[in-house]
Amino acid sequence: MGALFVSAILASCGGEAPPVAIVAPLTTVAPRPEIYADFQLTADLGELSDKQREMIKILIDASQIMDDLYWKQAYGEDHEAWLDSIADVDTRRFAELNYGPWDRLDDDKPFIEGVGAKPLGANIYPADMSKEEFEQAYLPGKVGLYSLIRRNADGSLRLIPYHVAYAEELKKAALLLRSAAKHAESTDFANYLKLRAAALISDEFQVSDMYWMDVRDNDIDIVIGPIETYEDRLFGYRAAYEAYVLIKDHEWSDRLSRFADFLPQLQKGLPVSDEYKWETPGTDSDLNAYDVVYYAGHSNAGSKTIAINLPNDEEVQLTRGTRRLQLKNAMRAKFDKILEPIADELIDESQRGHITFDAFFANTMFHEVAHGLGIKNTIDGRGTVREVLLETASSMEEGKADILGLYMITELHKAGELGDVDLHDYYVTFMTSVFRSIRFGAASAHGKANMVRFNFFLDSGAFERDAETGKYRVDFERMASAMTDLSRLLLTLQGDGDYDGARELLETKGVISEQLQADLDRLTNASIPVDITFQQGIAELGLE
């Protein structure tokens, strides 16, 4: 979920003087498409019928509309013409990867001279609107997920629902989903596609979200619509369009399906007092592995998601739980192309052997499961944690999921549920992953959450750096208490809805020290990619 941080600092003085805006000087950085390793998104379609293949093509067409809408939200109306105006090949490529002229993995710094800072509200709010103006404006429904804010001719603000602003595109997408439904072999999935089509053109997503929880017998799936709120860095209220087209991996799914059953028991064992864990995580959740065959819109911008935990709707989560989708082919790409090379550079020889794909897969999987733990509403009844923590909400939630994921692994390992695997594999692979995620920069909620955790663990001695070799190792004894302390801290900040506390944590611990920066620079100098980018589509799948 959600979003972050103000690169320009607004300092308002008290007393008579008007507020003065101090804007940090904005440097233009160089385009760097090489930080993304190329990866061809394919999957084994051998088992699929002709109808299913046809359906995948239609779902990809619908996804491309989400891609176009996301461009409008992130950048502006006519992105094609803008891209065509960029002469330099590297710059144009980098603009495509970032859906705009700002480097998403470097705090959204501009890489084209003269474009200025990225508006915190992207193209979802007027660029010249302040937080205060929005807060004071009378706009019914203004804390909603599915609307644009624009100015009237007289300068006042108005709200335009997505289904009005994007009526034409959404109608096309809805027609495609209905047409895909005709090819579906699963009746439930066909019904879901029809409900989702209706949702797209009405901005009413809850019914389709609820129904999606029941769709179990489909080999092909799609996540589509305005879903995550990271693009709204002003408030974290509004969702951006995206899509994933997915093919279920039955073999790996069977391996995963049993873990959701442990959630209620693990919720009870959380290291906080009862009022912070009174909510019951939905047990009717499922956990499955997929190969992704298409990413579009938000999911395809900057860093690529390797696991999904949806729906975000708190009511659905409380009554039904969530579905967790592990994106296996994308995960494998990141492990091979990024994690292993990072380990070679930064992990102590004595622990290098603990970095395994199975541990990477498990850590990512349990991160997703752990989103279901903890609390969704503040303990004093002020509302959902997400609403109260505003732009810090995403970092707190991602940080919680990371640390509680490791807590789950530790507990399940103790109980003998994880088989004959060395617990140290999970911890060392976890630390290596932190380096990978920190490279996403402070503009990403995941990146910020990882900086907090890295500093927390370094300060507590759970991570150690050898001054001579410049390599890191895990102190397994200290790891346990550091894990408990950080879990308690994040669960409490969330339960209390402590916005000031969350900000303070991000400001003090969500930073990259000089030492860490120097170590991260070693990864850059070794040309280790930061993320992956996909060659994807109908041709790549051999469906033409």
> 204-225 burial string, b = 16+ CB within 10 Å, else e?
ebeebbbbbbebeebbbbbbbb
The tokens describing 166, both together, are: 């994007």
The residue among 338 and 401 lying less far from Zn ion, judged by its C-beta, is: 401
3-state DSSP call for residue 321? coil
> 507-516 burial string, b = 16+ CB within 10 Å, else e?
eebbebeeeb
The residue among 69 and 401 lying less far from Zn ion, judged by its C-beta, is: 401
Strands (E), 389-483: 463-466, 471-474
The residue among 101 and 302 lying less far from Zn ion, judged by its C-beta, is: 302
How far apart CA 526 and CA 528 sit, in angstroms, is 6
Residue 374: count other Cβ atoms within 10 Å of its Cβ: 24
Q: Provide the minimum distance between the beta carbon of 16 and Zn ion in the complex, in angstroms, as a whole number.
A: 46
How far apart CA 305 and CA 218 sit, in angstroms, is 22
181 close to 193: Cβ distance less than 8 angstroms: yes
Q: Provide the minimum distance between the beta carbon of 309 and Zn ion in the complex, in angstroms, as a whole number.
A: 6
3-state DSSP call for residue 539? coil
Q: Provide the minimum distance between the beta carbon of 456 and Zn ion in the complex, in angstroms, as a whole number.
A: 18
Q: Provide the minimum distance between the beta carbon of 1 and Zn ion in the complex, in angstroms, as a whole number.
A: 8
The residue among 72 and 446 lying less far from Zn ion, judged by its C-beta, is: 446
Q: Provide the minimum distance between the beta carbon of 396 and Zn ion in the complex, in angstroms, as a whole number.
A: 11
Q: What is the DSSP letter of 12?
A: -
The residue among 454 and 472 lying less far from Zn ion, judged by its C-beta, is: 454
Q: Provide the minimum distance between the beta carbon of 371 and Zn ion in the complex, in angstroms, as a whole number.
A: 6
Which residue's CB atom is positioned nearest to Zn ion? 401
Q: Provide the minimum distance between the beta carbon of 543 and Zn ion in the complex, in angstroms, as a whole number.
A: 31
The residue among 62 and 401 lying less far from Zn ion, judged by its C-beta, is: 401
In this structure, the dihedral spanned by the alpha carbons of residues 312, 313, 315 and 321, taken in order and rounded to 10 degrees, is -30
3-state DSSP call for residue 325? strand
Q: Provide the minimum distance between the beta carbon of 488 and Zn ion in the complex, in angstroms, as a whole number.
A: 19
Q: Provide the minimum distance between the beta carbon of 400 and Zn ion in the complex, in angstroms, as a whole number.
A: 9
Contacting residues toward Zn ion, per CB under 5 A: 398, 401
Reference 512, options 460, 437, 401; nearest CA is 437
The residue among 304 and 471 lying less far from Zn ion, judged by its C-beta, is: 304
How far apart CA 371 and CA 7 sit, in angstroms, is 28
The residue among 300 and 312 lying less far from Zn ion, judged by its C-beta, is: 312
- Quick one: how far is CA 102 from the chain centroid? 18
37, 190, 214, 296, 310 from 291: Cα distances, Å: 18, 20, 20, 15, 17
The residue among 362 and 401 lying less far from Zn ion, judged by its C-beta, is: 401
Q: Provide the minimum distance between the beta carbon of 401 and Zn ion in the complex, in angstroms, as a whole number.
A: 5
How far apart CA 339 and CA 532 sit, in angstroms, is 12
Q: Which stretches of 269-392 are DSSP H helices?
A: 314-320, 328-334, 340-346, 357-370, 385-389
Residue 539 dihedral angles phi and psi, to the nearest 5°: -65, -45
Q: How far apart are the first and last CA of the chain?
A: 36
Helix axes 393-414, 423-438, angle to 10 degrees: 170
Reference 355, options 420, 423, 426; nearest CA is 426
Q: What is the DSSP letter of 152?
A: -
Find all residues with CB under 8 Å of 381, minimum gap 6, and list them. Answer: none
The residue among 348 and 398 lying less far from Zn ion, judged by its C-beta, is: 398
The residue among 391 and 398 lying less far from Zn ion, judged by its C-beta, is: 398
Q: Which residue has the tokens 């995620």?
A: 437
Q: Provide the minimum distance between the beta carbon of 510 and Zn ion in the complex, in angstroms, as a whole number.
A: 16
The residue among 147 and 312 lying less far from Zn ion, judged by its C-beta, is: 312
Reference 57, options 430, 399, 408, 539; nearest CA is 539
- Quick one: how far is CA 526 from the chain centroid? 27
Q: Provide the minimum distance between the beta carbon of 287 and Zn ion in the complex, in angstroms, as a whole number.
A: 14
Q: Provide the minimum distance between the beta carbon of 236 and Zn ion in the complex, in angstroms, as a whole number.
A: 14
The residue among 219 and 398 lying less far from Zn ion, judged by its C-beta, is: 398
